[in-house]
Homo-oligomer: A and B are copies of this chain.
């Protein structure tokens, strides 16, 4: 099992094949500073190929999923006042910085295993960047969301603007919340399809996440990981390109023993056991 030990995240294995990652800086409502997103990347890159992990739950300790960027920390970094100096050179540094930050959050999307973002309390700004990079989003009834970035003078640049239009169906709603930075609640998040389930409180939600994760973890990992990958590829490309990629992918995947295992256990009405991947 993965042995990487981040400082600002706890990783537990509540059940076989399920990793539970908790953002763990509760005294600051799990607000992120640079060390944290670098850790997040390393953590997901470690879990991604780990054969003892099949599903990952991502949630926050304390009162929030995350309140987003730690603005105080950023104000001496990415958001530091503009010193005089060559704007083109400053732009080069900003591009590197933003690209590196984006890559950290994209590690969730690139992780081979499905990731369930389980949110409660506050899920502001960077929380939405993170959640849209996950595969499934659920929340507690008390969650308050916002695409908060315009409120600090910037266009959200760590993924929300690229992924949110592909995650929910109503482009007008996306523009509404992204241009106004207004808060929205769990009901609205459910109605527009941003989350797929709302639970009465955090505890029940984590329980729900575990059940969902347990169900997915019981399936063939060859099938599950192929499904995540093909869905992400197809989302961004014409149907024809999606179909071709699928047939190339499955030309290897269908050679798995898991198909026989699954068919047999189906006939025998018993739980299948699949080799690690």
The residues of A with any CB-CB pair to B shorter than 8 Å are 49, 71, 75, 78-79, 81-82, 84, 86-92, 94-96, 98-99, 102, 106, 109, 112, 114, 135-137, 149-157, 159, 161-163, 165-176, 178-182, 192-196, 212, 215-216, 219-220, 222-231, 233-263, 266, 274-275, 277
Contact = CB atoms under 8 A, between A and B. Distances in A.
29 contacts: A75-B263, A79-B254, A79-B263, A86-B255, A88-B254, A88-B258, A88-B277, A91-B255, A92-B251, A94-B254, A95-B248, A99-B243, A149-B223, A150-B220, A150-B227, A153-B263, A154-B258, A155-B229, A155-B249, A159-B243, A161-B227, A161-B234, A162-B242, A166-B239, A168-B169, A173-B193, A178-B231, A245-B248, A248-B248
Contacts of A258: 86, 88, 153-154
Nearest to A92: B277
Contact of A193 (B169, B222, B238, B239): B169
B153 A262 contact: yes
Nearest to A222: B88
Nearest to A239: B162
Contact of A240 (B92, B240, B256): B240
List the number of copies, as a whole number: 6
Interface residue SS majority, chain A: helix
Nearest to A150: B223
Shortest Cβ-Cβ A-B pairs, 10 listed: A169-B169, A170-B193, A162-B242, A88-B256, A155-B226, A91-B252, A153-B262, A236-B238, A252-B252, A87-B255
Given A94-B254, A149-B223, A224-B179, A81 B260 contact: yes
Most buried by B among A78, A88, A238, A261: A88
Most buried by B among A137, A171, A247: A171
A179 B135 contact: yes
Most buried by B among A98, A222, A235, A246: A246
Contacts of A219: 150-151, 179-181
A114 B263 contact: no
A247 B242 CA distance: 16
A107 to B, nearest CB: 13
A171 B109 CA distance: 13
A255 B161 contact: no
A75 B181 CA distance: 40
Contacts of A102: 243, 246-247
A272 B212 CA distance: 44
A114 to B, nearest CB: 5
B153 A90 contact: no
Contacts of A170: 167-169, 192-194, 196
